[in-house]
Structure 1
């Protein structure tokens, strides 16, 4: 399908056709290809521009074999969601832009040669090993290139005020992974390799059939499913390159993989010597794998002990080059690294974190998105372990104090209206790693044993008491999903916007625009974007561009992943989310 522009649409299509096409956008279902074309044309007509977004084109699988190649396919049209407010027909002509920003999430920059990884559990835990993981740093840099190439939001035309990365920026909270992340975001020279700089020392040249061995002719399980042999892949993936860095100010939110061992086990300092050691476990028998996988799901303490024993006495174990840069970072060190002048880039200094955060390890804060719109970044990780999250009482009370200080009125727990004394009435957008549905981990924080933990239902209930909360933006699930909260009471309504990861296919980021429609409603536009990598791959091309393209294609073909589920439905892609303005609900 050609990329439509506003000019093409307005000069080639009658207004009546546009109105008919707009009526098709309410649920994203189309009876025919012609209807889909009309919907796409109508979407383009409403946009300032669509180039570089999934409104224009989308990575699409082709071929009949088990390994699919990718190509450029038709873009996804805008889906108007009126779950929380009705849409007036004249709103486009009255619209005023209020905010425009970008969400990155779940980049999982991976030190694939680290001794403390569980690749051998891939059949039990699909995320333990991904064939594309040696390319995460280059893939993230390609995403930065895409954002740098865009001039602003597709529906308001406003330039981006910021990029927010909503957690799991690193995969195993190692200092070297954090350095790669900060360099990807702010720019700089990166060598995505640890241990011996002259060779690769991970599972992808182990000769084990469990893993894709890209440089070898050995027929591993992945090649049995059509994965290619790519000479020079490992050397090229670990070679130095210059990351351009964002041209837009950026902020960080912390995720469970930034906080815990492989995002699952509490980091109590017990495995630090193993992180920096010279032994890497590359396989265990099926019984041991099942026991370790079960412990990772149900008993973090047992899993730590089990892993330590396997590294000392299990097999096969590979001798690797020790590297002190693999030492895990603490929450305070995470904040401190963001304050390093070498990583200031386009700013702001600290990227949301202050010297106070670096001293205390409290990784939640507020920041301006635009005039009249406030951002709130939460820390939903639980240091007790497990992937899912929650927040402690101290943070919940802090959040409530922020909401009250910016609100002209709110509701108490009994539903009575409370008038604020000096609230500014700013719109509020929350950011966190975890979603409302993945905040059920109420284990006591080992650093604050007597502090109560609070789940996603409690957080939703709190947010619904403050009418100026318009959105909660998050990641973690590696899936596109948009939820409407507060159907029954418009005054208490807000949207939860969950975006897929940038390690697993579809490797999306999201542009979010907030606009005042001039009729008592707001529109939140949520447009998905892919990296700047081309869709077609060439297995003989190990240049930066070639590897970035291969990163996407390998992620689509990962046998342990579920691309169709992660994509989400049309109503989770490019949407216009209607919401009554605070005070008008």
Structure 2
């Protein structure tokens, strides 16, 4: 993960400087794409650099080789849409997190990410890039939140719809595992570790403006949008943990760590609801960290639930119909699920889409 960090920090710092109105800093224009430049490891040293852009490759058949390069004539393209996925807009300061499990490897390898304080800025940089493409629609295919929290949803909607984005939570300023004073070398600490970016996590908490997506956007639910850490169904105990003042720093001495064959959902649940001995510290509380239900998610996204799932059909232009399938489990676990009722609905909608290209979107 750290090998990609240098370029990611550049992208995010552009968003921080531009969004927070920093003066006297040179910032590259937002909104580039792989048509203009790519990310490569040119010399094989494990550090990522910028590479040349890649042209569009036109295929006359989905399973065939490219027939030519360059954008197709407008008459040949049935639709132009953009897919954004797994943005994981997160409250990295939330106590309802278990980043220390990352040192155990899989299945806990996603409990900490070195760039996690920058999720709001990176997502907003993506919005700038998408707007330059002027698509007819944007499909956000799940995990736009990280831990089903209300303040994460507030941030996502401000980014996608446009408005004031407030990444910070708890007390003003950063309070988390990437502080310079944290002695644990597991975590990337921008003030002290390479690549050094002093003050980065503090600046990442500052509010800024997002232009919002200029095209309509279609939400798709993923496991992180409805489950705590994408693994555990919300409970009263977990809600208290998220809104409270206790955060877990590590397992208590003598406590056996879960192994690679452990049920990751059960391991996370046991830690957060206090069934495992841990070493804790106090952090600022924030009631905005409450968990949102699928019903509230659907209401705020402006899409009604169908049999408790966010399944719906939407037209993209005049020639394409999108079918959105909600595959996120409600009982816990990161794997997807599709019910027989959803399959029946999908078949009916495909039959109704006669004369249109039909694209099915789901997170899993």
Deviations 1:189-226 (A, max 9, x none): 112111002x21111113322211222x4xxxxx3xxx
User: Is 1:377 equivalent to 2:324 in the alignment?
Assistant: yes
1:369-402, Cα deviation, whole Å (9 max, x unpaired): 1213211100011112211101112222221221
| Counterparts in 2 of 1:288 and 1:402: CA distance versus 1, 3 Å | farther
Of 95, 99, 104, the residue aligned with 2:79 is: 99
The alignment partner of 2:92 has SS state of: coil
Residue 293 of structure 2 aligns with which residue? 330
d(CA) in 2 for partners of 1:390, 1:122: 26
Instruction: Pick from 123, 144, 149 the counterpart of residue 140 of structure 1.
Output: 123
Partner of 2:189: 213
What pairs up with 1:72-471 in 2 under 5 angstroms?
72-75=51-54, 78=57, 80=59, 84=63, 96-123=76-103, 124=105, 125-151=108-134, 160-197=135-172, 199-205=173-179, 206-215=182-191, 217=192, 223=193, 227-284=194-251, 288=255, 290-291=257-258, 294-297=261-264, 300-301=265-266, 303-309=268-274, 313-315=277-279, 317-338=280-301, 350=302, 353-354=303-304, 357=305, 361-406=308-353, 424-434=354-364
Task: Return the structure number with greater helix share.
Answer: 1
Aligned-partner SS, 2:40: strand
Residue aligned with 2:314, SS: strand
- 1:570-585 residue pairs with structure 2 within 5 A? none
What's the offset of the Cα at 1:403? Answer: 1.9
After TM superposition, the score normalised by the length of structure 1 is: 0.52
TM-score computed with the length of structure 2 as normaliser: 0.81
Question: How far off its partner does 1:366 sit?
Answer: 0.5
Deviation at residue 88 of structure 1 after TM alignment: 7.7
Superposition deviation, residue 404 in structure 1: 2.4
Task: Report the CA distance shift for 1:120/1:76 in structure 2 as closer, same or farther (over 3 A).
Answer: farther
Once the two structures are superposed, residues 491-528 of structure 1 have per-residue CA deviations (whole angstroms, 9 ceiling, x without a partner) of: xxxxxxxxxxxxxxxxxxxxxxxxxxxxxxxxxxxxxx
- Over the aligned positions, Cα root-mean-square deviation in angstroms equals 2.8
Once residues 275 and 63 of structure 1 are traced to their aligned partners in structure 2, the CA distance between those partners, rounded to angstroms, is: 44
Q: Distance in 2 between the 1:96 and 1:263 partners?
A: 40
How far apart, CA to CA, are the structure 2 residues paired with 1:325 and 1:84?
Answer: 47
Whether the 8 Å CA contact 1:292–1:306 is kept in 2: the answer is: no
Deviation at 1:301, TM superposition (A): 4.1
**1:159-197: CA deviation from partner (whole Å, max 9, x where unpaired):** x21101000000001000011111110111112111002
- 1:120·1:289 contact (CA, 8 Å) conserved in 2? no
56-65 or 110-119, which deviates more:
56-65
- The answer to whether the Cα contact below 8 Å between 1:374 and 1:426 also exists between their aligned partners in 2 is yes
Which secondary structure does the structure 2 equivalent of 1:375 belong to? strand
Unaligned runs of 5+ in 2: 1-30
Distance in 2 of aligned mates of 1:94 and 1:308: 55
How far apart, in 1, do the equivalents of 2:270 and 2:296 lie?
Answer: 26
Partner Cα separation in structure 1 for residue 156 and residue 74 of structure 2: 40
- How far apart in 1 are the matches of 2:352 and 2:61? 30
Alpha-carbon distance in 1 for matches of 2:240, 2:73: 62
Tell me if the contact between 2:38 and 2:51 (Cα under 8 Å) persists in the aligned partners: yes
**Aligned residue number for residue 22 of structure 2:** none
5+ residue gaps, structure 1? 1-50, 152-159, 218-222, 339-349, 407-423, 435-585
Going from structure 1 to structure 2, the CA distance change for 1:289 and 1:126 (only over 3 Å counts) comes to farther
- Taking the aligned partners of 1:425 and 1:213, their CA distance within structure 2 comes to 54
Using a 3 Å threshold, how does the CA distance of structure 1 residues 57 and 303 change in structure 2: closer, same or farther?
A: closer
- C-alpha separation between the residues in 1 aligned to 2:262 and 2:143? 22
- Once the two structures are superposed, the pairs formed by residues 518-533 of structure 1 within 5 Å of their partners are none
The answer to whether the 8 Å contact 2:227/2:330 transfers is yes
In structure 2, the CA distance between the partners of 1:94 and 1:327, relative to structure 1 (3 Å rule), is closer
Q: Contact (CA 8 Å) 2:39, 2:48: kept in 1 or not?
A: no
CA gap 1:100/1:289 in 2 versus in 1, 3 angstroms: farther
- Which residue of structure 1 aligns with residue 13 of structure 2? none
Provide the aligned length of Structure 1 versus Structure 2: 326
Return the alpha-carbon distance in structure 1 between the equivalents of residues 260 and 93 of structure 2: 20
Distance in 1 between the 2:256 and 2:125 partners? 35
CA distance in 1, matches of 2:259, 2:228: 14
The structure with the largest alpha-carbon Rg is 1
The structure whose RCO (Cα within 8 Å, separation 6+) is larger is: 1
Residues 94 and 320 of structure 1: CA distance in aligned 2, closer, same or farther (over 3 Å):
closer
1:309 Cα deviation from its structure 2 partner:
2.2
